[in-house]
Structure 1
């Protein structure tokens, strides 16, 4: 089994990146590889429409360590555990998502990597365009 780490450095505070990414209502904004619809709370899980069909997601509890690990229950019932972290970087925050090649072909694994790269690119773009606390744009609201 191979693992692949996708990383993005985002010019925003680790707290801001973590808070945005941990807000499940924001998932469809940046995690199109996972959520194509607004998440619906279903007990301890979330249910969303994804490129793989309707899936259930279970995130670890919010924490001060920047951990965003989550399990995805696929329509087949298979569970994929996805390690994800936000931590301080000299230029702001670094987000690392680990993919594991579990029973997929090399081509499917490469597509999964591309989807996660695109998701983290969207997260970076969104964070770059959010008004910063104390900024002139925020005071104009």
Structure 2
């Protein structure tokens, strides 16, 4: 069985290692991932954020250093949503690609809303990293 999917991408004028190191650091997620804007904390070896359902865990399954920023979101009940996210070389910059799946419970409107949220998140990431120095210094 497969689900409908869309690939949402954003070009960023920064080297892939800079983008991967920044975006793949869970501590930086609140700066660009709106769903985590209320913060994230490192507790007992896990990265957690609060949601209306309770604590949600975010786990990067990488390897981040190779631009594989796939991450699992573990809900309080134990269900896991896998989110593929890659940083690809695009000439001297990067292309960040998020694959969004429409699962069996989602409606078309939910899917469109999720896609818009991902686009906004990637746009915020671009705003933070466009023109970042090769050593990762953000202007």
* Shorter-chain TM-score above 0.5: yes
Aligned counterpart, 2:129: 127
Aligned counterpart, 1:94: 95
Alignment of 1:63-78 (within 5 A): 63-78=64-79
**Counterparts of 2:54 and 2:123, CA distance in 1:** 23
Q: CA deviation at 1:60?
A: 1.3
Task: Give unpaired runs (5+ residues) of structure 1.
Answer: none
Verify the 8 A CA contact 2:24 2:64 in the aligned structure 1: no
Q: CA deviation at 1:62?
A: 3.9
**Counterparts of 2:16 and 2:42, CA distance in 1:** 26
1:7 aligns with 2:9: yes
TM-score normalised by L of structure 2: 0.84
Alignment of 1:1-141 (within 5 A): 1-33=3-35, 35-50=36-51, 54-102=55-103, 103-128=105-130, 130=132, 132=133
Please identify runs of 4+ aligned residues in structure 1 that moved more than 4 A: 50-53
**Counterparts of 2:5 and 2:90, CA distance in 1:** 23
Deviates more, 1:68-77 or 1:113-122: 68-77
